[in-house]
Amino acid sequence: MAIYDRIAVFGCKATTRFLIENLEIPYPVRYLVTLSPQAGAKHDVADYCDLKPWAEVRGIEVYQVRYYSLKHTDDIAHLKEWQIDIAFVIGWQRLIPAAVLSGLRVGAFGMHGSAANLPRGRGRSPMNWSLIEGRQAFYTNLFLYDPGVDSGDVVDTFKFQITSKDTAETLHFKNTLAMKYLIERNIEALVRNDFRRTPQETALSPTYYPKRTPDDGLIDWELDVTALERFIRAVTRPFAGAFTFAGDERVHIWRAQVFDVHDFGYERALPGTVVAVFERGQFLVKCLGGLLLVVEYESHTPIQKGLRFGNNGRQIRYFPRNPQGFFDLLET
């Protein structure tokens, strides 16, 4: 039986590097398809890493694509010259065009999942949304790319826990480890092009999460304190973070926790008001349903008791919900 072991990885993030460094398979990663620093900055890629110098030192051939879409004729021609058998996609977050997929002898395999499992929860930022929604588990899938949005056949699935301590960063750690594990578990079948593939459940209508932008990190102080705490965990590093305003000065809040559901005498304070500042700089904010302890933040304005955070004239973007109260919607 033929062995298809010309392996490439598509990606431009720290998770991409981690996968390549830690993948324990008997076949080397020969190629890396990535972005230049200029393209990473232009497209505002969260957690971008310039992987070219790192990869070249390790003997991996590197191609930096002209456009993030991979649709330029030069990009397509170059990838065809490499005669790639298998591509693993991690830290790319874009579709792989049909013209590229058709040039892969086995296919491109990526990770996508959701708290409800595919075909529910296709689309953007499912781990961030799962934190915002207060979900407790996540199904992540090694799937075969097709030209659609997360619609390809599933090769294997791994389920992991979402704990009350998880953040956007730790869920990315878990998802990367899940991809490593699933690749290792399936690599021999993949390189022989003799792997099982299961079409996504057709009895369920696919749902899609919407795209989030850095501006969507604006804090809504009318949210319940537990929802606020989840929101901050969901958009913290490596993303742009949750933010609010002290007057016209932006304040980033990177880490916070529910302090107590009791108000300690601050019942009359309005939501978003700083009610106490502690010796080491942590501070309490009055919220609906209790108090939020802000542990890590960035502010050019001194945080003082009585300060009330606001939006500085900005509008909070409210995302529509489905009948279950979640943010993944049927395609319209």
CATH number of the domain enclosing 70: 3.40.50.170
Percent helix, percent strand, percent coil in the chain, to nearest 5 = 25, 30, 45
Question: Do residues 20 and 81 share a domain?
Answer: yes
Which of 209, 239, 256 marks a domain boundary?
A: 209
How far apart CA 72 and CA 314 sit, in angstroms, is 37
What's the mean pLDDT in 299-316? 97
CB neighbourhood size of 128 (10 A): 23
Question: Do residues 162 and 15 share a domain?
Answer: yes
Q: What is the DSSP string of 30-64?
A: EEEEE--HHHHHHTT-TTB---HHHHHHTT-EEEE
Does position 224 have pLDDT exceeding 90, yes or no?
yes
Q: Residue 100 falls within a domain, yes or no?
A: yes
Residue-range definition of the domain harbouring residue 251 = 214-299
Question: Do residues 198 and 220 share a domain?
Answer: no
Q: Residue 317 falls within a domain, yes or no?
A: no
Question: pLDDT by residue (tens digit) across 234-274?
Answer: 999 999 999 999 999 999 999 999 999 999 999 999 999 99
Does position 68 have pLDDT exceeding 80, yes or no?
no
User: Assign residue 6 a region: left if phi > 0, alpha if psi is -120 to 50, beta otherwise?
Assistant: beta
Measured in residues, the chain has a length of 332
Q: Residue 320 falls within a domain, yes or no?
A: no
**Two tokens at 43?**
């497209």
**Two tokens at 326?**
């979640």
How far apart CA 160 and CA 166 sit, in angstroms, is 12
Which of the four pLDDT bands, split at 50, 70 and 90, describes residue 95? Answer: confident
What's the mean pLDDT in 159-171? 97
Provide the 8-state DSSP code for 273.
E
Average pLDDT, the chain: 96
What is the predicted pLDDT for the residue at 179?
97
Question: pLDDT by residue (tens digit) across 138-160?
Answer: 999 999 999 999 999 999 999 99
Cis peptide before 210 (omega within 30 of 0): no
Q: Which of 258, 257, 256, 254 is nearest to 299 (CA)?
A: 254
How far apart CA 179 and CA 47 sit, in angstroms, is 18
CB 47 within 8 A of CB 126: no
Give the strands of the sheet with 242-246, arranged side by side. Answer: 242-246, 249-260, 290-299, 283-287, 273-277
Question: Do residues 126 and 220 share a domain?
Answer: no
Question: Do residues 52 and 175 share a domain?
Answer: yes
Residue 89: phi and psi, rounded to 5, are -115, 115
Domains identified in the chain, total number:
2
State pTM to two decimals: 0.94
